[in-house]
Structure 1
Amino acid sequence: MLYQPRNHLDLEALRTFVIAIELGSFTATAQVLYKTPSAISYRIKGLEDNLGIKLIERTTHSVTPTEAGKRLAAKAQDLLELHQCFYDELDIIKTGIESSFTLVVNNLLYDDAAAARLLAHLSDKFHSAAFKVQKSVFMGVWDYMIHDGGSFAIGAPSFHSIDESFVATPLGLVEWTLVCGPNHPILRSKKTVDEEALRDYPAVNIQDSSIHSDGRPAWRLMGQEEILVPNLETKILCHRAGLGIGFLPRPIAAERIERGELCELHAKDVARQPSPMSYVRPKKDTGLIGNYLELLIEQRHELIQPFLSPLEPER
């Protein structure tokens, strides 16, 4: 069946109508849109004439939607958002700059100050884009990219993509150091520090933020109790408080060991294999922001370096 064109729908009049309904006043709407109240009334009257239906009950001090007006207002916002998205997509096609961009960073690599500096730089360079930074835990990085529209990830577990829609490029390895607090009782024990001795104390682990896919099994000995926390900062504070033992990325552990906040545990026959990390972007992504971030990573630029500092080179 061929599409039969109808009267042209004035989207600016539709937007004016929606604002008037929300504010309940032509005067308030006129102030928001920098128009006169009579211009607002005229525009909405034109919309009513075009559609052939009364949308608003007018009084001296307020406007109230008719039943038809209520139904139109409920649908109009979706239409206006769709219209905006259409032009956002056109902007991407014309300029190559993404209209919105979500950077996902592994909790182990996240740096607050670096994230703020990077956001400020990207916002200045690509001022038309809306930016978001998402901190995720281990497999939660992949989860966010696949299911929640992540644009670019730093620190996705594995050197290989777990989804054919994405490309993973190796960044390096997280090497691990076993730590505890400086006053932890295991340091005063006369027993040999091995699996049997470690099992007497809980392991402090970070809860994987993955929702849609299987999370990473955290390090824990068979039969050992576990304390789960939401992020790296809380895990470190738990170790400092003597609540348990666990592994930290080597550079992060070394810094706190040097300051006397933590102690390294040398446990017989207890180790954790290095964890490979990659940066990830959608396979068909050709946006300028993603390309620029990829260039910064390849250059090991100072804006990116803090995120990469916990990593050791790939073996």
Structure 2
Amino acid sequence: MTPRRNALTPESLAMMDTIARTGSFAAAARELGKVPSALTYSVRQLEDALDVLLFDRRSRQARLTAAGEELLAEGRRLLAEMDAVANRVRRVACGWETQLTIAADGLVSRLTLLELCEAFYGLRPDGLEGGPGTRLRLRTEVLNGTWEALVTGQADLAIGVPMDAATSAGIDVRPLGEVNFVFAVAPHHPLAQVAEPLDDADIVRHRAIAVADSAQRLAPLTVNLLPGQDVLTVPSMQAKIEAQLRGLGCGFVPEPLVRDHLRLGRLVPREVRRQRQKGRFAYAWRSAALGSPRKAPQGLALRWWLEQLESPATRAALMDRFPAGAVPSAVD
């Protein structure tokens, strides 16, 4: 370790902060419980180690040089980071994860999800300043991508996985809710004028709008596409709805996300001969190491989120609560 690095101790940085804050060596010495000469000696040692002048000796006040200002600013940042590290270490020791990653399907209400984040950040665990301190990371996935993020370890909690997703050892799955899907087109789309109910022969002649499955390793899901049908593939449900509003194609869309568009006539629901679509979704988390019969220790942050998901009202809001005229956009 270099002499310069040895000189930059938490004590020396705190000393600089105290001198700058109090405005004089004498006031800083009183606050630190030192005699002024000892404080002056400590400052000279720091200046010698860094080979710079930190204070303008021509002034009776403790006036910082440009180098001193830089050291003060960076020193305050380093002290804050040291405190943050110490707090995070203590939180981890108390059972709070350093980071919790949540993968949510594009159908999940971001309004409700962010309100849950707000409640989480407002927690005040006993003895821990500034809340739990767990860093939350939200990911937007589609279809099998939500499940893949969980089983590959990229997420700790998956919200909105297909209810019929393949089970895996060490994964707990609970029902989240159902979403009604409606076949809809723009008012100027040709299918808006075809007699109902529409059959597959009517639909296959028109382009479908499909959302790409975000899975990279698992087999992607294909839903409600007819053999030989032209397809425009888009990256999100938001893009799918926008495409259908423009008349670029047709397809099934989640009723809660297009409720306002249907009410205002921007989209027209059409009865189809095939069975009415309903999606069943779940939430899942890793509960044990793969191949191990023992339960993995569950962090307090994940435990809190699972407790919220036990509420029927919360689950319903995640599936059905969207601002008027809005559809969820990507978070990550």
- Residue 237 of structure 1 is matched in structure 2 by 242
Q: Structure 1: how far apart are the matches of 2:305 and 2:166?
A: 18
Q: Distance in 2 between matches of 1:134 and 1:40?
A: 48
What's the CA shift string for 1:228-250, capped at 9, x where partnerless?
Answer: 11111111111111111101123
Gapped regions of structure 1 (runs ≥ 5): 1-12, 21-25, 44-60, 62-83, 311-315
Please name the residue that 1:115 is paired with.
113
1:165 equivalent to 2:170? Answer yes
Deviation at 1:133, TM superposition (A): 0.9
TM-aligned CA distance change 1:223 to 1:38, over 3 Å: farther
The runs of at least 4 consecutive aligned structure 1 residues that moved more than 6 Å come to: 30-33, 84-87
Query: Which stretches in structure 2 are left out of the alignment for 5+ residues?
Result: 18-42, 51-66, 68-83, 124-130, 288-295, 322-332
Q: 1:140 to 1:89 in 2, by over 3 A?
A: farther
- Contact 2:182/2:277 (8 A) holds in 1: no
Q: Where does residue 103 of structure 1 map in the other structure?
A: 102
Name the SS of the counterpart of 2:265 in structure 1.
coil
Shift of 1:161: 5.6
3-state SS of paired residue (1:236): helix
TM-score by length of 2: 0.63
Distance 1:271 1:196 in 2: 15
Aligned to 2:72: none
2:317 is matched with which residue? 306
In the superposition, the TM-score normalised over structure 1's length comes to 0.66
Alignment check: 8 A CA contact 2:104 2:140 kept: yes
State the partner residue of 1:67.
none
- Counterparts of 1:191 and 1:118 in 2: how far apart (Å)? 42
Counterpart check, 1:289 vs 2:301: yes
Q: 1:41 to 1:249 in 2, by over 3 A?
A: farther
Q: Partners in 2 of 1:33 and 1:232 — Cα distance?
A: 55
Pairing 1:14-33 to 2, within 5 Å after superposition:
17=5
Residue aligning to 1:207: 212
Distance in 1 (CA, whole Å) between partners of 2:161 and 2:177 is: 11
Cα displacement string for residues 131-182 of structure 1 (whole angstroms, at most 9, x for unaligned residues): 1111111111111112243121111112566321211111122332111111
**C-alpha separation in 1, matches of 2:166 and 2:256:** 26
SS at match of 2:312: coil
The correspondence of residues 180-219 of structure 1 with structure 2, limited to 5 A, is: 180-189=185-194, 193-219=198-224
| Cα distance in structure 2, aligned partners of 1:217 and 1:37 | 71
Max Rg structure = 2
Q: Which residue of 2 is the match for residue 65 of structure 1?
A: none
SS in 1 for 2:122: helix
Kept in 2, the 8 Å contact 1:159–1:170? The answer is: no
Find the aligned partners of 1:278 and 1:217 in 2 and give their Cα distance. Answer: 19
Contact 2:186 2:192 in 1 (8 A): no
Paired positions, count: 245
Match of 1:6? none
Distance in structure 2 (CA, Å) of the matches to 1:198 and 1:116: 38
Quick check: 226-235 or 189-198, which moved more? Answer: 189-198
**Aligned letter for 2:264?**
R
Distance between the aligned counterparts of 1:292 and 1:116, measured in 2?
15
Distance 1:291 1:189, change over 3 A: same
2 CA distance for matches of 1:177 and 1:138?
18
Structure 1 residue matching 2:160: 3-state secondary structure: strand
Q: Does 1:274 align with 2:278?
A: yes
SS of 1:175's equivalent in the other structure is strand
Aligned partners of 2:207 and 2:248 also within 8 Å: yes
